[in-house]
Amino acid sequence: MNIASYIDHTVLKPTTLVADVEKLCAEAIQYQFAAVCVPPLFVKKAVGLLAGSAVKIATVIGFPFGYSAIEAKVAETVLAIVDGADELDLVINISALKNNDWQFLAGEINAILPIVRKARKVIKIIIESGVLTDEEIIKCCDLYGAAGVDFIKTSTGYAEKGASVEAVQLLRKHLAEKIQIKASGGIKTYTFAKQLIDAGATRIGCSSSIQIVNEAAGQN
């Protein structure tokens, strides 16, 4: 397994420096990671740093809590696309979900998905699985699966619980095969990353990417 090809090499801390993004992108080219995931402020910078490489540029929308207004998320989406992002990791309105307002969530994705599709970009829906019940996760599969998103992503990394093998297995069971799964949040070892991939994840979001790749090399 080429673990690097599964990894979104990530820096999303609120104190992110230009130097952090420069280092991230250099490492992504060196190790041939699938993508980098950077704050919206640094999308243009990443585009320049990764020019000519196969590494994709991902950024986040409504991050990390998801309760931005739909109009704000639409504006963020448009700006990210204008700045050159290839992939958009969108946090759903978890407050709306917890209030059982699935109509609001449907309106949210219906406002954003056409913009992404028109620009031929990739959208990953962050559901924050660690704070959801199994029933809520399954409802997310139904809603976002029917919408035809590209990925469902487990976590932001900011909730009390991140990715889990159980959540990935549950997502895989209830999603069409064409909809991929990104596991993220608390992934620090090759062993855990491989467990998540074996459970059905096709992308791993982490900041411990190099450690994971080195551990993988040591086991092969």
Other CB atoms within 10 A of residue 95 CB: 12
2 close to 10: Cβ distance less than 8 angstroms: no
Annotated catalytic residue, options 56, 89, 124, 194: 89
89 carries an active-site annotation = yes
Class of residue 74 by CB neighbours under 10 A (exposed 0-12, middle 13-18, buried 19+):
middle
Annotated catalytic residue, options 121, 139, 182, 194: 182
Q: What are phi and psi of 43, to 5 degrees?
A: -60, -50
SS3 159: coil
150 carries an active-site annotation = no
Sort residue 97 into left (φ over 0), alpha (ψ -120 to 50) or beta.
Answer: alpha
Sole residue written with tokens 């809520």:
136
Annotated catalytic residue, options 73, 124, 153, 194: 153
Known catalytic residues are 89, 153, 182
